Amino acid sequence: MNKIKYTSLLLVLLLLLNCQTHTRSSHDGLIDIKTTAEGLTLLGENIISTSLYERDFAVSPQSDEVIYTLGDYKQEKRNLVYLKRVQGKWTSPQILNISGEYQDIEPFYTKQGNRLYFASNRLIYGDASRKDYNIWYSDRTQTGWSEPVALDSIINTRGDEFFPSLSDAGNLFFTATKDNGMGKEDIFKSEWIAGKFQTPKALPKEINTASYEFNAYVSPDENLIIFSSFGRSDGFGSGDLYISRKDSLGKWSASKNLGAIINSDKLDYCPFVDWKSGNLYFTSERRTLGPKKLESIEALKAFAHRPQNGFGNIYKIGVDQLE
């Protein structure tokens, strides 16, 4: 190879390397989980928040990994997807090694980040007749996540159990419809005592109503809860986020709608708070409006495939702006 060709090839390689570095840097800037959001912000446009359906966002305690649910447009397939921060750069989204075959949703890390809880409709207790959603956990290994284990039948009934959230004490909060509940769907708590989950009890009337309460995030100290509800008189639309705090006596305050900055006339749900960054993450089906008239098929395709097309996306906002 002569000198001129070698020099030209070297220049091309340097340009490609620069382009890739720039792409990774831009990629990184769109996935900011360290800065407290000053206002409502779409997370990771075209990387995490895409034209597909994203929901159920969780940040690892070490802030080096995120897991969320990614589904197709009809949500016939829903998988747990992760991105990992390696040497200061975020990897591209990948399906978790334990996901991809069943409907897997709603991840939640324990406080050390070495166990992952989630909901799934996979085969449980060897009973092929079961098609319901149940709560499972998996432990982190050197090569990924271990084979999932179903929680005991004191938690997992033949009805659906959804959206696990655990406090530092190990107590489990989740969504279910039960005879001892208050409404069509309620939030339950199961205490962790002597290495076992106890019989779940519905949270009080300050949280649960005769309508739908679901998908609750509970703070590590159990002094704050953020959840979704549908059917209340102060709702904005298809489901809103509400908040309640415990007083000095340990009693929950009357739950309060988080307002128009966070809630829309579409479904707003699946909350998660990263206390390290001070951000509330949640899923919303809100959408951006398009042009009044479309001039081409290409314009129609671009409109249909925009991230904020009415399917779920991940948003964040600073916790200091909740009330």
pLDDT tens-digit readout, 258-280: 999 999 999 999 999 999 999 99
pLDDT tier at 15 (50, 70, 90 boundaries)?
very low
Q: Enumerate domains of the chain plus CATH numbers.
A: 31-321 (2.120.10.30)
User: Which H or E run contains 94?
Assistant: strand 94-95
For residue 18, what pLDDT is reported? 44
For residues 158-185, average pLDDT: 96
pLDDT tens digits, residue range 174-220? 999 998 999 999 999 999 999 999 999 999 999 999 999 999 999 99
Maximum pairwise Cα distance, the chain: 82
For the record, the structure tokens of 239 come out as 């489901």
For the record, the structure tokens of 49 come out as 């928040």
For residue 28, what pLDDT is reported? 56
Backbone φ, ψ for residue 151 (5° rounding): -70, 165
Q: CB under 8 Å, gap of 24 or more: what pairs does 152-155 form?
A: 152/196, 152/197, 153/125, 154/190, 154/197, 154/198, 154/199, 154/200, 155/190, 155/197, 155/200
pLDDT tier at 24 (50, 70, 90 boundaries)?
very low
Cα distance between residue 95 and residue 105, in whole Å? 12
CA dihedral 126, 129, 135, 138 (to 10 degrees): 40
| Cβ atoms < 10 Å from Cβ of 307 | 20
The residue among 177 and 30 whose pLDDT is bigger is 177
pLDDT tier at 322 (50, 70, 90 boundaries)?
confident
Coarse DSSP helix, strand, coil percentages of the chain, rounded to the nearest 5 percent:
10, 40, 50
| Cβ atoms < 10 Å from Cβ of 64 | 14
For residues 238-248, average pLDDT: 96
Pairing of strands 104-109, 115-120: antiparallel
